[in-house]
Amino acid sequence: MDELACSQQRQKQRVVVGMSGGVDSSVTAALLKRRGYDVIGITFQMLPHEKEESACCNIHTITDAKRVCSKLNLPHYTINIRDTFRQHVIDPFINRYLQGQTPNPCVECNRHIKFDLLLQKANELGAEFVATGHYCKRTYSHRQDQYFLKKAKDLHKDQTYFLYMIPQAQLARTLFPLGNLLKPEIRALAHQFGLINANRPESQDICFITKDSYKDFVAQEVQTQDKATLPPPGKIITTSGEILGRHQGIHTLTIGQRKGLGIAAPAPLYVLKINPITQDVTVGYEDELATSFITLTQVTLVNPDIPILGKRFKMKSRYAMTPFFVTVHEHTPDQVVLKLRTPQSFVAPGQSGVLYDSDRVVGGGIITL
């Protein structure tokens, strides 16, 4: 098929682009239009009114997304999903902290918002694809008849850790135009396209926590929403049961925390365990933090037909970390148990554990201990 025919065929394919008002999603829309797609921009209005001074997802970024689409001559829609965002992202974030866990709201936002809802809108608009400005790659194997999710060319920006939950059906309809580009190249493209946000700095924070710390945010939300009660103060104990002091609620502490415990000891003590039933917080020395097994629940495999039991993979339990080797010790429909080649510290319940086979995302789940 010649280039003209390819272009004509691609013009028949409609794609809905999730636009945050930032440079990445804006360049995504511009690239797809240049490649001949029928592009529609959609921005989700997610934050409560009182949080709209956030560095992202605020009224100004929504306006910028509209201005980018106007510059590119693309239709743009803003959709209010505040209630859905609270139900699937903010409230679970609060509830996990109330249970003494360390959640990752960006994972849940991708799981429930940026792909599920985006595909729903794509279906309503008759679009074959959705696209986002995430740094990752989607590949396809004709031999295996499967799509694969792989790390981006720009490993410093790679976002696959937050995308492990995308199943085959969604991956087949999702485009990631930035996967083979470096951040400086994307900035340069934004200037070439004449986009107003070409030099906008990136936001690194959780969008709905604007000024407060996590514990202050949780406390304020519980009091405002009146949906739960804050965990009461409890005991800080050693592994042998000795009481060293008291804490102000398990929502104020995380596994591995050392500072702010308000206790004295000959050597630094770290939070080893948080018991949401007794409200006891167990502390100990750094070497006691190390674990040799990790259990994942709510497991999603990108390619479920590829066996993983007994296989060795690399794993990340936090986004910005060096991955470590694990072997799949057990695998049931409900969970995966991983054996670590080298014991790891600072692994907390509620975090996402993501498995990699070289640059391919195998899948992941929520860590329980």
What residues are annotated to the active site? 109, 207
CB 22 within 8 A of CB 197: yes
* Helices (H), ranges, 201-285: 214-225
Q: Which segments within 142-277 are labelled E, that is strand?
A: 146-151, 174-175, 234-237, 243-247, 270-274
- 112-122 burial by CB neighbour count: b if 16+ within 10 A, else e? bbbbebbbebb
The DSSP-derived string for 70-132 is HHHT--EEEEE-HHHHIIIIIHHHHHHHHTT----HHHHHIIIIIIIIHHHHHHHTT-SEEE-
Q: Hey, is 250 helix, strand or coil?
A: helix
DSSP 37-83: -EEEEEEEE-S-GGGTTSSSSSHHHHHHHHHHHHHHT--EEEEE-HH
**Centroid of chain to Cα 298:** 15
SS3 133: coil
